[in-house]
Amino acid sequence: MSSVSRRHFLGTGAAAAAGLSLGSAGRLEASSAAPAWQASRPAVIASANGLRGVARAYEMLTKGADPLDAAIAGVNIQELDPEDQSVGLGGLPNADGVVQLDASCMHGPTRRAGAVASLEGIATPSLVAKAVMDYTDHILLVGPGAKQFALAMGFKEQNLLTEKSRQDWLRWKARISPDDNWLDHDDDVTIKFSTGTINMNAVTSSGDIASVTTTSGLSWKIPGRVGDSPIIGAGQYCDNGVGAAGSTGRGEANIKVCGAFLTVEGMRRGLTPQQACLATLERVVAMTERRLLGDNGRPRFDLNFYAIAKDGSYGGASIYSGGRFAVADAKGARLEDSVFLFKREERPRR
């Protein structure tokens, strides 16, 4: 893909329309060109790990399914896949070797939402989040209370730490310090660090919208750490009159800008989904702490946004090039390239 000026996507007027002050983000130099997508409904967009999921969700939408039911069925594929170490069963654990899961969802037609955080022992937090939405007057349940609620609702408890993820945890733990009492686990010095998440947003043929995000969170996190995924307006957000958006990547950076909400608001003010995602990322860069910036003022982390509008148009954007997202519509299920702010080779090292 060729690189073009950020102005090609946003422009002074569009940035003002989004209510954003570019400030130091005015340094941003490059994005990537992408084709103008023809809107069609139904349609589903997700993070790249949701390729199988968008196919399932789209098929359900063509048969008249509710958009949230379709989206959750899509993310359930990853939640229940023990080989996917970013969500659900087999997710990489926290520093104590315990898998803690987060999820949230929103249902456009009813304007309702639900979420769970630090949930242990239940492989499908997206469904527990929907149960919070459907059966309680609350939005967010956390920790032991979330697990107690899930069990009361009939969810089955299971050990989520697969042998594969346990071995990765042992490798990480053995190499925290050369002076501790843990022997190196094996000769494999590759330590996995994951912020893996799946976000999925769907719009029906009649224009109803829903969104869901689910994750096992940052690998080796401090127990109890909660990222953006279960936070309404950060990990995902849905407005049935406008569209939906969600994110994967560094949750702490997203929380500070209420990124999913900001992206939907950008679309409300006239930006395309793609433009809205880029505008939100500019805000992320402007709000990044100095300790997380390289000498060139660019983040030492990546963040990705995905958005879909009520008319079925969609877009995905990342801070650095190389990002992809999954989409399914009348053209089928496929991966497409995200637009970006910086080329990946320009990304500062940690």
- pLDDT at residue number 173: 86
Burial 305-341 (b: 16+ CB within 10 A, else e): bbbbbbebbbbbbbbbbebbbbbbbeeebeebbbbbb
Instruction: For residue 203, give the nearest of 38, 37, 73, 45 by alpha carbon.
Output: 45
Tell me the fold of 3-346: Glutamine Phosphoribosylpyrophosphate, subunit 1, domain 1 (3.60.20)
Percentage of the residues of the chain whose pLDDT score is greater than 90? 77
- pLDDT at residue number 156: 98
Phi, psi at 127, each rounded to 5°:
-75, -35
- pLDDT at residue number 192: 61
pTM of the complete model: 0.87
The residues carrying an active-site annotation are 197
Taking the chain (350 residues) in runs of 10, the rounded mean pLDDT of each run is: 38 40 39 57 97 98 98 98 93 95 98 98 98 98 98 98 92 77 62 76 98 95 96 98 97 97 98 98 97 94 97 98 97 98 70
Q: Cα–Cα–Cα angle for 144, 122, 53, nearest 5°?
A: 135
- pLDDT at residue number 26: 37
The residues, any chain, with a CB within 8 Å of residue 335's CB and separated by 6 or more, are 48, 51, 324, 325, 326, 327
The tokens describing 252, both together, are 């702490």
pLDDT digits (tens, 9 = 90+) for 256-290: 999 999 999 999 999 999 999 999 999 999 999 99
What is the rounded distance in angstroms from the CA atom of residue 235 to the CA atom of residue 325? 16
- pLDDT at residue number 31: 44
- pLDDT at residue number 180: 63
The end-to-end CA distance of the chain, in Å, is 26
- pLDDT at residue number 139: 98
